[in-house]
């Protein structure tokens, strides 16, 4: 069956509308929730059940769905995401009093394999951001984008969603709309200010319409797309002769790691990154033992000689 918005289960349509209107989730997040719950609906249909009769759904139905996903060798992170989608859906049904008992209660996420994202050292970052480029409008835009992501720790979506009035070079701040439409105010580094100003002076070269408010523009004068932004970072890495696959996530991770290595506290980094839970921030950090020992020797009263 081909799923369209019109033939989605009614409860799923209501849930997605709730996430969109009340929670302010992005289109990408809404699509992910829809995919996960459609997969579960397909599984339920084979048992002659549906999301529109949620009181008939049992814990065994969810466990059987998980077993099916395990048999398909799905990544543990994908399993956890699908469970998260189901949890959100059943919480919504409880809140709307469409069910009395939560069938997903006490079903835990699979234990995740810990992956430490790659981090560039300071010399590599400087090589990337200080590479001499011809001052064309595209090059000025590209280096401004990379400098901003590393300098302020933005997600790629946050950087691309910026409008002209979100960046105040005079006050040296950028207003970022994060996940769940949560706004946060971030400082701009002096280097970022220089790069952003240089790009702004050439922004009109992209021929935007008078109504276009996007800060970062693509070749057609519209908001820069994520795919092209990823290609930009790869090109910068190539020009800097860095033999690595550079992504916005890498630069964001470097931002967090380098701050912590310089002595910033975890809570501050959490706020800068816009993480709801500090455990998420901890996954971004992997201080080397030498740094930890130096901080310990400096700060702990019983460690001082």
Q: Which residues are catalytic?
A: 155, 179, 249, 252, 275, 284
70 touches 82 (CB < 8 A): no
DSSP symbols for 247-294:
-HHHHHHHHHHHHHHTT--HHHHHHHHT-SSHHHHHHH----HHHHHH
The residue assigned the tokens 């797309």 is: 225
DSSP symbols for 24-60:
---HHHHHHHHHHHHHHHHHHHTTT--TTSGGG--HH
CA-based torsion, 44, 49, 51, 57: positive or negative = negative
The length of the chain in residues reads 305
Contacts of 220 (CB under 8 A, 6+ apart): 206
3-state SS, residue 215 = coil
* Alpha-carbon span 235 to 231, nearest angstrom: 6
Question: Cα Rg for the chain, rounded, in angstroms?
Answer: 23
CA-based torsion, 270, 275, 276, 280: positive or negative = negative
211 touches 159 (CB < 8 A): no
> Which residues pair with residue 183 across a beta bridge?
177
């Amino acid at each position: 069956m081909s799923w369209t918005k019109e033939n989605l289960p009614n409860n799923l349509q209501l849930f997605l509308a709730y996430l969109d209107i009340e929670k302010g989730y992005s289109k990408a997040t809404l699509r992910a929730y829809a995919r996960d719950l459609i997969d579960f609906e397909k599984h339920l249909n084979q048992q002659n059940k549906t999301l529109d009769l949620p009181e008939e759904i049992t814990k065994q139905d969810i466990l059987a769905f998980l077993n099916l996903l395990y048999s398909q060798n799905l990544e543990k992170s994908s399993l956890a995401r699908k469970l998260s989608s189901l949890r959100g859906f059943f919480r919504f049904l409880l809140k709307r009093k469409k069910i009395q008992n939560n069938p997903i209660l006490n079903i835990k996420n699979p234990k995740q394999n810990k992956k430490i994202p790659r981090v560039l050292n300071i010399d590599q970052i400087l090589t990337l951001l200080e590479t001499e480029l011809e001052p064309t409008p595209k090059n000025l835009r590209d280096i401004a984008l990379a400098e901003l992501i590393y300098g302020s720790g933005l997600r790629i979506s946050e950087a691309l969603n910026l409008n002209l009035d979100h960046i105040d070079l005079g006050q040296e701040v950028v207003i970022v709309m994060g996940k769940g439409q949560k706004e946060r105010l971030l400082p701009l580094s002096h280097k970022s200010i220089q790069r952003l100003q240089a790009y702004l002076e050439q922004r009109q070269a992209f021929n935007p319409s008078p109504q276009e408010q996007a800060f970062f523009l693509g070749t057609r004068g519209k908001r820069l797309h994520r795919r092209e932004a990823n290609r930009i970072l790869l090109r910068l890495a190539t020009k800097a002769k860095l033999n690595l696959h550079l992504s916005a996530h890498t630069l964001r991770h470097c931002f967090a790691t380098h701050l912590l290595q310089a002595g910033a506290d975890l809570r501050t980094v959490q706020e800068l990154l816009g993480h709801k839970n500090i455990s998420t921030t901890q996954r971004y950090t992997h201080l080397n033992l030498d740094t930890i020992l130096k901080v310990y020797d400096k700060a702990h009263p019983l460690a001082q000689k």
